[in-house]
Amino acid sequence: MHLYETHLPVRDTEQSRQFYVDVVGLQFAHRDAIRDVVFLWAGSARKSMLGLWGPDTEYGRAFRKCHLAFAVSLPELLASGPRLRQCGIETANFSGEVTTEPSVIGWMPAAQLYFADPNGHALELIALLDDAPDRHFTGSLSEWRKTH
């Protein structure tokens, strides 16, 4: 089983489409202009989808900030911090400290970076690690690599 789709309320579907395509790297799938909804493919086409619902839709009117995590490889994650910074996007670790270095949550274990989209939704890029879990560890990837 895997998650096929999720949806976010957004203030501007075109601005959000551009951000998720140009910055996050999703692929445009379809725009339903009648309902002001944009659908984007996440990863391999037709395996996962993100829907962006404009403010005039029922889902979009119920705006609230959400969290969404995208699974990436560790090399993709390591390249993401500097790439996002070049795009003017501030990234942070699990503790909310501004950095381009991924943090690690040891119980998973997984490395991640956090950033916000133009609507204030909390986005996460996450790479699962092949190391043994350590439920007591939360810190930087460089610290994790020294001890694991």
Domain finish residue from 38, 61, 84:
61
Same domain? For 53 and 91 the reply is no
Q: pLDDT of 2-36, one tens digit each?
A: 889 999 999 999 999 999 999 999 999 999 989 99
Distance CA 36, CA 39 (A): 10
Same domain? For 76 and 117 the reply is yes
Overall residue count recorded for the chain in this entry: 148
Same domain? For 40 and 103 the reply is no
Dihedral sign computed on CA atoms, order 107, 108, 109, 113: negative
Report the 10 Å Cβ neighbour count for 119: 17
Strand, coil or helix: 41:
strand
Same domain? For 32 and 87 the reply is no
C-alpha count within 13 angstroms, C-beta hemisphere, residue 10:
25
Same domain? For 53 and 77 the reply is no
Domain finish residue from 61, 86, 109:
61
pTM over 0.75: yes
Domain count, the chain: 2
Same domain? For 26 and 71 the reply is no
Burial 47-66, CB ≥16 within 10 A → b, else e = ebbbbbbbeebebbeeeeee
Beta strands in 19-120 (DSSP E): 27-32, 37-41, 49-53, 67-71, 103-105, 110-116
Q: pLDDT of 110-128, one tens digit each?
A: 999 999 999 999 999 999 9
Same domain? For 28 and 96 the reply is no
Which domain CATH number covers 112?
A: 3.10.180.10
Domain finish residue from 43, 61, 79:
61
Q: pLDDT of 72-115, one tens digit each?
A: 999 999 999 999 999 999 999 999 999 999 999 999 999 999 99
The predicted structure's pLDDT at residue 44: 81
Question: Can you give the residue range of the structural domain that contains 18?
Answer: 5-61
